[in-house]
Amino acid sequence: MKYFPIFVDAEHIHCLLVGAGEVAARKCELLLKTPAKITIVAPWICESVKRLVEESEQITFIERKFEDQDIDGKQMIFVATDDELINKHIHDIAHAKHLLVNVVDNTPLCKFITPSIVDRSPIIIAMSSGGVAPVLLRYLRQKLESVIPNKVKLLGNFSEKFRSTVKDALGSVTDRRYFWEEVLDGDIGESILQGNSKQAEAKFDKALIAYRNGDKPTGQVYLVGAGPGDPDLLTFRALRLMQKADIVVYDRLVSPDILELVRRDAEKIYVGKEKSNHTIPQEDINELLARKALDGNRVVRLKGGDPFIFGRGGEEIETLVEHGVDFQVVPGITAATGAASYAGIPLTHRDHAQSVTFTTGHLRDNTINLNWPALVQQNHTLVFYMGLTGLPIICEKLIEHGMPKEMPIALVQSATREDQKVVTGTLEDIVDNPNTALLKPPTLIIVGTVVNLHSSLNWFSQGNVHQ
C-alpha cells in the first residue's frame, strides 16, 4: 500500500490552489465541501472559478503569477496549471518544507492524491487506485453509487445522535455492535431512510429497552414491486430489502432472474396463483404475512409489477393493520408501462391518445363485467391485465359498444424478458391469428391506435411476432 488512506480534519487547514482554469474549478468545488480556507493564485480566472469566488467567503483570489512566498502558512497545496516548469518548481519548494502538495494529473509530483469519493456526509467513502487506473475507479464508484442509499447520511446522523445513549445503556462493545446492526439493518433503519425520524426514534427507544431486557424484536412486512420481469428494472430500494429479508413470499409473476437476487439464506415461500388454480387463497396469504412478521421476521412480499396495481396489496396491508404489524410499500414498474415501453408502444401520444385506462380482463362465470361504454372512447388507450383467456369476449364487447373492428391491438407476453413476444392485429382478426394461440400468461393486451407505432418504435426485438 503505497498511499496511506487518511481523513484530514479540514476545520483549520489553509489550502493554496495555483491555477484558475476548469481543472482548478473541480478541485475548488471539492474543497468547498469542507470548512477549509482557500487561497487561489493565478494570472487569469475562468468563469467557473469566478462564480465560485463570488459565491463563497471561504475563497481569496489573488490575480497574479505564483510567487514562492505564496506557500507560507499553507498546509495543503494543489497545483493545477498547464506549465510543467512551474508545476515542478512548486512541488520542489513545497516538498522541501514538508508540505502536502498535489500536482493535478501528475502522480510522480504528488505527495498526496485525492481519492474518488462517494459523498453521503457524514458518511464518506473514498477509493484510490494510486493513480494507475482512474477509469476503473470511476466504474467502481458508479457501482457503489447505485447500491448505497442516497439518504444513508440520515443513518449517520441518527447514529451520531444516539451513540452516547446506546453506550450508556449497553456496557459491552459486542452488545452495542449487535444492537446497532439490528437497528440499521431493520425496520428502524428503513424508517430513518424514509425520513420518518419521529417514528424511528419511538421504535428505537422500545428496541433499546427490549434488547437490554433480552426480548425478541418485532418484525415488519415490506410489500415490494418486482416490476415486469427484467431484473435491471428493480428499484434500488427493492433490491436492498430483498437482500436483507429473512422471509420472501413471492408469486408466479416474479421472474427466476429476480428471485436469484434474494438473500441466499432467506426462506422463500411460493404463493403463486395460476389460471383457474389459486395455490393459496388470498386470505391465507394475508394471514401468513402477519404471522411471520409477528414471529420477529423481516418479511418481503415480492409481487410482480406494482403492489397497488392489480396486485391486491391493499388487501394484504389491511390484514397487517388489523394485527398491528408495521409495513412499508415499495412501488415497482407496473406491467403496463413495462410491456408498452419494451414493445415500442407509447401508451399516450399527441397524435393518438391523450388518456389511458388500466383494467382487468379476468373472467368470472365466463364473462367480464366492465363498464364497456366508458371504455370505448376516442383518442384513448386501453390496457387489459389478465385478459388472455377472455380475449374473444374483450374484442366482441368493444366492437359491440362502438369501437371500430379495425382498431389495432397488441398482445405482449413475458414483457421485458428475453422470451418476450408481441403479436399485433385488429379487434376483428386477433383472435384467429395462429400466433395468438401460442401465447401464454402473463400476457398484457393493449388496444388503441398507438399500437400502429410498434413497427417503427420497437427496439426490443426478442421473439417479436407480427400479424
Domain boundary (283, 309, 333) is at 333
Say yes or no: 326 and 372 in one domain: no
Identify the pLDDT of residue 134: 82
The length of the chain in residues reads 467
Q: Provide, rounded to the nearest whole percent, the portion of the chain with pLDDT above 90.
A: 66
Residue 354 maps to a domain: yes
| 79 belongs to a structural domain | yes
> What is the pairing mode between strands 443-447 and 380-385?
antiparallel
Query: pLDDT-based confidence at 4, cuts 50/70/90?
Result: confident
Residue 447 pLDDT: 97
DSSP string of 116-181, one letter each residue: EEEEETTEEEEE--TTS-HHHHHHHHHHHHHHS-TTHHHHHHHHHHHHHHHHHH---HHHHHHHHH
Does some domain include residue 463? no
d(CA 326, CA 207): 14
pLDDT digits (tens, 9 = 90+) for 213-240: 877 667 889 999 999 999 999 998 899 8
Domain carrying residue 202: 152-213
- Check if the beta carbon of residue 298 is closer than 8 Å to that of residue 266: no
- The CATH number of residue 167's host domain is 1.10.8
Q: Is residue 141 part of a domain?
A: no
Q: Is residue 307 located within the same domain as residue 394?
A: no
The predicted pLDDT at position 184 comes to 87
Same domain? 327 vs 340: no
pLDDT attached to residue 466: 52
* Average predicted confidence (pLDDT) for the chain: 91
Specify whether 442 is located in the same domain as 346.
Answer: yes
Q: What is the CATH number of the domain that holds 61?
A: 3.40.50.720
pLDDT value of residue 174:
76
Given 164, 185, 213, the domain boundary residue is: 213
Q: Indicate whether 72 and 106 sit together in one domain.
A: yes
**230 catalytic, yes or no?**
no
Q: Does 132 fall in a domain? A: no
Residue 268 domain-assigned (yes or no): yes
Does the structure show a pLDDT above 70 at 439?
A: yes
Orientation of helix 197-213 relative to helix 152-169, angle to 10°: 30
32 lies in the same domain as 84: yes
Q: Which of the four pLDDT bands, split at 50, 70 and 90, describes residue 193?
A: confident
Same domain, 341 and 453: yes
Catalytic residue among 111, 153, 273, 429: 273
Query: Does residue 122 fall inside a structural domain?
Result: no
463 or 414, higher pLDDT: 414
The verdict on 94 and 189 lying in the same domain is: no
pLDDT: which is higher, 441 or 146: 441
Stretch 14-35: mean pLDDT, rounded? 95
- Residue 372 to residue 110: CA distance in whole angstroms: 73
Number of folded domains that form the chain? 4
Instruction: Retrieve residue 413's grid coordinates.
Output: 407476453
Please check the confidence at residue 277 and state whether its pLDDT lies above 70.
Answer: no
Q: What is the CATH number of the domain that holds 254?
A: 3.40.1010.10
Q: How confident is the model over 156-177, as a mean pLDDT?
A: 90
Question: pLDDT of 38-90, one tens digit each?
Answer: 999 999 999 999 999 999 999 999 999 999 999 999 999 999 999 999 999 99
Average pLDDT over residues 254-278: 83
Residue 465 lies in a domain: no
Active site residue 273: yes
Spot the catalytic one: 230, 251, 292, 303.
251
Judgement on whether residues 342 and 397 belong to the same structural domain of the protein: yes
CATH code assigned at 396: 3.30.950.10
SS3 call for 68: helix
- Point out the domain boundary residue: 96, 114, 132: 114
pLDDT above 90 for 369: no
121: β partners: none
Q: What is residue 463's predicted lDDT score, i.e. its pLDDT?
A: 52
In the block, cell 410499500 appears at 329
Same domain, yes or no: 298 and 352: no
Asked whether the predicted pLDDT for residue 332 surpasses 90, the reply is: yes
Q: Are residues 267 and 372 in the same domain?
A: no
Q: Give the model's pLDDT for residue 273.
A: 66
* C-alpha separations of 421 from 73, 414, 439 in Å: 70, 7, 8
Q: What is the pTM of this model?
A: 0.66
**Of the segments 152-161, 166-175, 264-273, 275-284, which one has the largest average pLDDT value?**
152-161
Q: Are the CB atoms for 335 and 300 separated by under 8 Å?
A: no
The predicted structure's pLDDT at residue 250: 95
C-alpha to C-alpha distance for 42 and 17, rounded to whole angstroms = 9
Is the domain of 306 the same as that of 389? no
pLDDT for the residue 86: 95
What is the arithmetic mean of pLDDT over 90-107?
94
What average pLDDT does the segment 254-272 reach?
A: 91
- pLDDT score recorded for residue 321: 95
